[in-house]
Amino acid sequence: MPDHGPDPSSAASPRRSLRRAARVSLAIAALVLGLLAAGAGMVWRYAAALPPLDLAAASARSTVVLDRSDTLLRPFATADGRWRLPVTAATVDPRYRAMLLAYEDRRFESHPGVDPAAILRAAAQWLGHGRILSGGSTLSMQVARLVEPRHGRSLEAKLRQMVRAVALERQLGKAALLDLYLALAPYGGPLEGVRAASLAYFGREPVRLTTAQAALLVALPQSPETRRPDRFPDRARAARDRVLDLAASRGLLSPAEAAAAKAEPVPTARQPFPMLAAHAAEAAVAAEPGTPVIRLAIDGRLQARLETLAAERAAAAGPALSAAIVVLDNRDGRVLAQVGSAGYLDPSRRGAIDMTLAVRSPGSALKPFVYALAFENGLAHPETLLEDRPARFSANYAPENFDLTFQGTVTARRALQLSLNVPAVALMEAVGPARFIARLRAAGAGIQLPREAAPGLPVALGGLGITLTDLARLYAGLARGGSVPDILRRAGDAAGTGPEHRVTEPVAAWYVADILRGTPPPENALTNRIAYKTGTSFGYRDAWAAGFDRHVTLVAWIGRPDGAAVPGLVGRVAAAPILFDAFARLGIEPEPIPQPRNVLSVAEAGGLPPPLRRLHRDGAETQGPALKIAYPPDGARIDLGLAGERGDERDTAGQGLALKALGGVPPLTWLVDGQPVAQTPRRRAEWVPGGAGFARISVLDATGASDSVSIRIE
């Protein structure tokens, strides 16, 4: 048959097929777009109908008390009993973060809250197997579930999580959302968040974890109750190992690292949360309820060392005994350590009682302040001779020494170093108990007297009540030249700007510090290291040791919290070793107190002035008017430039300050800050101030009677 060429109808067929396919594709695309648009509209309407998320409840955290370096001292559970500690991605181990994202959400940084690829994979597995094999949840969706808990795994619940996840991503951003997961992820029981879990299972902060520990913390939130290592260690190990295998398959770990991590055992018990400075932390939370983070001035490492020391020494001393220690920074009064008991959780030692705030009898621990007041008022000098012999004072009071012996005539230095009772009472008689108590209270110490009785001579030997913290403040005052610091407990607290509290003057404080530095140390301790004094209360109820150097003041106490007597409990034997051991654990070399101006050196002065050579107890019986400084008056402010104005009390040359006394038995000895400036048979003298500042002016007569005033030269 002849060839008539191509059939036109056959050429048109492919073109018609292409046009039909295009029309079908457009129809399908339109249908899909319509479905997507309808679905998006439905999702949009669904999202708009949802109530707003309550992020305030999700933001609630356990209150944590930190030390001065932000080390955790003690956390507190939330109001509903949860342990949910503050944590951020920056404070967890980088390997943990890498494994978490690899295992839970590989595309976390790129998806908008929902991962389409993961959703499609989960849907395909569901269609193919008839059940959900992987949920396709992103970390954002998991946070949505944690913020808004809902039971069940329905499609509606999953849709709700998706909508919430997208909203959270827009509202918070990736970094804050990851922080929220780290704080809310469940780890079994009351543990929420990776920080609480790391402390409970490993006893460490999550900033530095082993590979095995990091993998376990990644695995637990998927099934926190059935994988708890303290209840189901085998399941916990299997879940951890799956995380390690995945991390190795994705190049985060080498096979050798994964194998080594699998060989590490899983913890089988929970560890207690940190409880350093438990009393101080508890008091801080009570004072600032609702504050999420409280920073104390305490040094956490020093606190831990001293808590161990207190527990060891109390256990060695006997049953039912407790111990307490306070360490102050002499610069500003910051509390560097506060050990309230020998064990906060030890009921046999009543560890919940904070003995740093308990009022107890200090025994001889207050004697240095009797001497300081006597030195300040010109009644005595460290080399003044005192009598340690049987003596009877007012109200038929006849004190005895601890060892029931007497030393005879001794210097004030030796009497204080040996803690002799009769010389201390003699000085208290000269100073006056009421004046002594008033000075301590003016310095800020909360002194309590028995049954509100008037102070008597026994207060020199501990016949009053004081707290360990107040005693530490007074001793810090000696280290600071007589200026008593306020107690600073918070890391950010600034030193007070109010009126200065003084327990004594700089020269008197240095005399006492110099004496106490020469006190014989306890057995096996070095001499001349620190200035210290011990005390034993009546009936062997309290043993004390207080010591200081230029930088730090430390006071230790040991006894029974219930106040029962403990035979043989003596400050020098029981408390002094704690003091010296605690100073050794400070890790610094002790430094002596710098010597101030106007210290009276006996060698340089050629001997003491006659009234200071020996303490005379019979001065009060001398006939005639009592010795009193008539000018300048106590508390006066004197302009140095006006010292030459007319008047009986000013010298005509305009250079010196006239001193005038009434009464007393000449000759009179005038002292300024403990330094003799004049000795005269008259009741007038002159002193040329060396410059502006405070000065303590004292006068003594031939019988040993004295008076003193404090003035300010301007």
pLDDT of residue 651: 40
pLDDT of residue 32: 42
How much is the pLDDT for 625? Answer: 81
pLDDT of residue 644: 42
pLDDT score for 221: 96
The dihedral formed by the CA atoms of 221, 226, 232 and 235, expressed in degrees to the nearest 10: -70
What is the reported pLDDT for 398? 92
Length in residues, the chain: 714
Judge contact between 314 and 325, C-beta under 8 A: no
Region for residue 152 given its phi and psi (left: phi exceeds 0; alpha: psi -120 to 50; beta: otherwise): left
The enclosing H or E element of 557 equals strand 552-559
Task: Please compute, for residue 577, the number of CA atoms within 13 A of its CA located in the half-sphere on the CB side.
Answer: 13
| 181: Cβ contacts below 8 Å, ≥ 6 apart | 139, 142, 143, 146
Structure tokens at 441: 């209270």
- In whole angstroms, give the CA distance from residue 307 to residue 339: 6
∠362-511-404 over CA atoms, to 5°? Answer: 45
**Distance between CA 661 and CA 397 in Å, rounded?**
33
Report yes or no on whether pTM surpasses 0.85: no
Contact at 8 Å (CB) between 617 and 648? no
Residue 56: the pLDDT is 72
Torsion angle in degrees (nearest 10) through CA of 618, 621, 625, 630? 30
d(CA 421, CA 436): 16
Question: Residue ranges of the chain with pLDDT lower than 70?
Answer: 1-51, 117-136, 150-155, 452, 605, 617-624, 640-655
Q: What is the pLDDT of residue 48?
A: 56
The residue ranges of DSSP E strands in 165-290, in sequence order, are 191-192
pLDDT at site 655: 65
Determine contact, residues 169/162, Cβ cutoff 8 Å: no
pLDDT at 243: 97
Return the bridge partners of 337, or none.
327
How many Cβ atoms are within 10 Å of 185's Cβ, its own excluded?
25
* Residue 329 CB-half CA count within 13 A: 16
Q: Which amino acid is at 102?
A: A
Residue 123 pLDDT: 57
| CA dihedral sign, ordered 122, 125, 130, 131 | negative
Give residue 36's pLDDT. 40
The values of phi and psi at residue 27, to 5°, are -65, -40
CB 625: neighbour CB atoms within 10 A? 9
Given a contact cutoff of 8 angstroms between Cβ atoms, the answer to whether 202 and 213 are in contact is yes
Q: What is the pLDDT of residue 13?
A: 63
356 within 8 A of 575, measured Cβ to Cβ: no
- Cis preceding-peptide flag for 632 (omega within 30 of 0): yes
What is the C-alpha separation between 83 and 79, in angstroms, rounded? 10
How far is Cα 468 from Cα 142, in angstroms, rounded to an integer?
Answer: 52
Q: Which residues are catalytic?
A: 104, 364
Name the packing angle between helices 233-249 and 255-262 (round to 10°): 170
The two structure tokens encoding residue 563: 């106040």
